A and B are shown apart, each in its own frame.
Chain A
Amino acid sequence: MQNSILISTNNLTKRFPMGEDAVVALDQVNLQFRKGEFAGLVGPSGSGKTTLLNIIGSLDVPSEGEVLVLGEAIEKIGHKAAARLRNRHIGFIFQTFNLLPVYTAFENVEFPLLLQRIPESQRKKAVWESLEWVGLTDKAKSRPSQLSGGQSQRVAIARAMVKRPSIMLADEPTANLDAQNSHNILQIMERLNRELQTTFIFSTHDEKVIQYLRRKITLDDGRVASDETFTTERAGS
């Protein structure tokens, strides 16, 4: 199934009601993402990057058009099926990390597996493995308030990958990080992509992130302005 299409949008349009008329956030977007891609959405503020990620992540629905994610039609998916899709197959990484504040790093990473009702021994093993991936086994017992920004984002990555999702959606993951931390988490994600064939889609303004991308989709005013693929590895290696 190498290179099979995981995500495809067909004339995806998203409007947000705004007083009398509506803001068009996405306008007839046609995109496909294959397994193992390391792609990024770039473009000016308000161009629709977050909106597209949200729809792919089944957190929002299209106004028009079709979106197929891992065989699920997002435009008509129900609450339960969407929750299941997110829980099993989609990892989210947010600009503001979004760790659950009263949980320890370990518990944050464990959470998606709890929802999946995975037995404890298996769960523990998977959590430690994920924490190892991001190099934070020594912070397992720390609360988010005791972690630095870089550490928090690494916990968030561990939480997103612990269930081995097919797709990772990262909305400006480096916006709150300094250069060194940004490179650090990008290298972690690149390694995940390489070793586990996890598909990554970023939304970003950050040149540091753009360096790592193997596909750069530029959005402008809700439209796909360009879609470039780079065959050579560019950074981080």
Chain B
Amino acid sequence: MIIFQLALRNLIRAGLRTWLNVFVLSLAFVAIILMQGVNQGIIEQASRSMIDSELGGGQYWHANYDPFDPLTLEDAHAPLPPELQRLIAEGKATAVLVSQGTIYPGGRMMPVLLKGIDPRQQILDLPTAELANHAGTIPVLLGSRMAESTGLKVGDPLTIRWRDAHGTFDARDALVVQIMNTSVQTVDQGQVWLPLDTLRRMAAMPGEATLITLAKNTSPPANFHDWDFKDLNFLLRDVREIVRFRKIAAGILNTILLFLALVAIFDTQILSVFRRRKEIGTLIALGMTRSGVIRLFTLEGGLHGILAVVVGAIYGIPLLGYLASTGIPLPQSSEGFGMAIGLVLYPVYGPALVLGSLLLVLLTVTVVSYLPTRQIANLKPTEALRGRVL
């Protein structure tokens, strides 16, 4: 296409200004992809680790269970419906009994959630096997954050005090048998894991559970009386909510960046139409129509977008690729923005994200390139030839 060649030639020979515009635009372009990629990485990474070590394929909750209100725990337990028992026997689900308790690390008093889980379970990625074979004591499993905040190490004794189903308080010594590294705070902070049977005995709740976690990709049997199925969509809503706010913040930042780049191009276009009047007149005298000149100038501006994509790709692909493969280390203190992310974040750039950003950049650039050129339609060729400003 002739007009494309001409536009590219004009643009590239305009020199430094072009490359400045292109560079700023490419920065916006790469930043948009990176920021969105980081957010997508957060969602995927947090969801994945929460699914792996806590949520599985979704959970049945006892109707009274409310994770945000520990006081409901007293009533949030019941024997399992036979269908769920069968799923557990088939290895497609595992039960967790949750109960309130208190521990006394280093003489301090600390309310905790006692969580009983089958040591042989394969559903969740937790080292529960360590809880097996500790006759004569109560083996407990802690997360690393919990271990740090309590100062407990493997082999340390630990006093647990709890109240059983009849309201009777009791206390016993337990033994820390394993500390696990996990990015998922909701299986770590303030939690003490112990064998399910042991907790059932302690709490006098034989055969009961608070929640049942299904294996990944297991479709839930129907709802049961007293047991509500919570799908991943529901269970991961917090992650999505937090990321939604991050996305809004990133969106504002991206808009500002893109806006700056667009203003630079808009300015260039206005200046072009203003300064290149004589050239416009000459083009018309040489046989271009005014709409042809408008197309040429719009294309010149729009090509900023295409060049920005090319330039952005030159440094963006290696940069974004490097970050995606080695990950972005997060400062220990940030604790993965309060989500189950771990110490390294791996951005994820989907084709929709890349293509979407591409279209956004090209479209907005074309629009801001076009707007100033509409003036040309009102330009008289004879005036333009004189280089006169209207």
Contacts and interface: CB of A to CB of B under 8 A. Distances in A.
Contacts of B135: none
A103 B381 contact: no
B286 A60 contact: no
B6 interface: yes
A84 B287 contact: yes
B13 interface: yes
Interface in B257-277: none
Interface string B1-34: 0100110011001100000000000000000000
A114 interface: yes
Given A87-B287, A103-B9, A60 B282 contact: no
A94 B285 CA distance: 10
A83 B9 contact: no
Interface string A140-152: 0000000000000
A112 interface: yes
A107 B9 CA distance: 10
A94 to B, nearest CB: 7
B279 interface: yes
A60 B381 CA distance: 8
A119 to B, nearest CB: 12
Contacts of B13: 102
A60 B285 contact: no
Contacts of B285: 57, 59, 86, 92, 98
A117 B2 contact: yes
Given A59-B381, A94-B385, A115-B2, A102 B287 contact: no
A54 interface: yes
Interface residues of B, number: 26
B289 A80 contact: yes
State the main secondary structure of chain B at its contact with A. Answer: helix
B385 A86 contact: no
A159 B283 CA distance: 12
Contact of B292 (A54, A60, A83, A92): A83
Nearest to A60: B382
A200 to B, nearest CB: 16
A101 B382 contact: no
Contacts of B292: 83
B381 A112 contact: no
B10 A98 contact: no
Contacts of A94: 282, 385
Contact of A98 (B2, B287, B385): B385
Interface in A79-111: 79-80, 83-84, 86-88, 92, 94, 96, 98, 100-103, 107, 111
B288 A115 contact: yes
Nearest to B387: A96
Contacts of B290: 79
A232 to B, nearest CB: 34
Nearest to A50: B382
Interface in B284-315: 284-292
Contacts of A59: 284-285, 381-382, 385
A88 B285 CA distance: 11
Contacts of A103: 9
A103 B382 CA distance: 22
Interface string B378-390: 0011100101000
A117 B10 CA distance: 19
B278 interface: yes
Interface in A135-163: 159
A72 B264 CA distance: 44
Contact of B287 (A96, A100, A107, A115): A115
Contact of B279 (A84, A87, A100, A115): A100
A102 B276 CA distance: 11
A80 B291 CA distance: 10
Most buried by B among A57, A83, A96, A117: A83
A-B residue pairs, 6 tightest by C-beta: A87-B287, A102-B13, A98-B282, A83-B289, A59-B381, A86-B287
Given A59-B381, A92-B286, A94-B282, 4 more contacts: A83-B288, A98-B282, A112-B286, A115-B288
24 contacts: A59-B381, A59-B385, A60-B380, A60-B381, A79-B289, A79-B290, A79-B291, A83-B292, A86-B286, A87-B286, A92-B286, A94-B282, A98-B281, A100-B279, A100-B283, A102-B9, A102-B13, A111-B286, A112-B286, A112-B287, A114-B5, A115-B286, A115-B288, A159-B286
Interface of A: 54, 57, 59-60, 79-80, 83-84, 86-88, 92, 94, 96, 98, 100-103, 107, 111-112, 114-117, 159
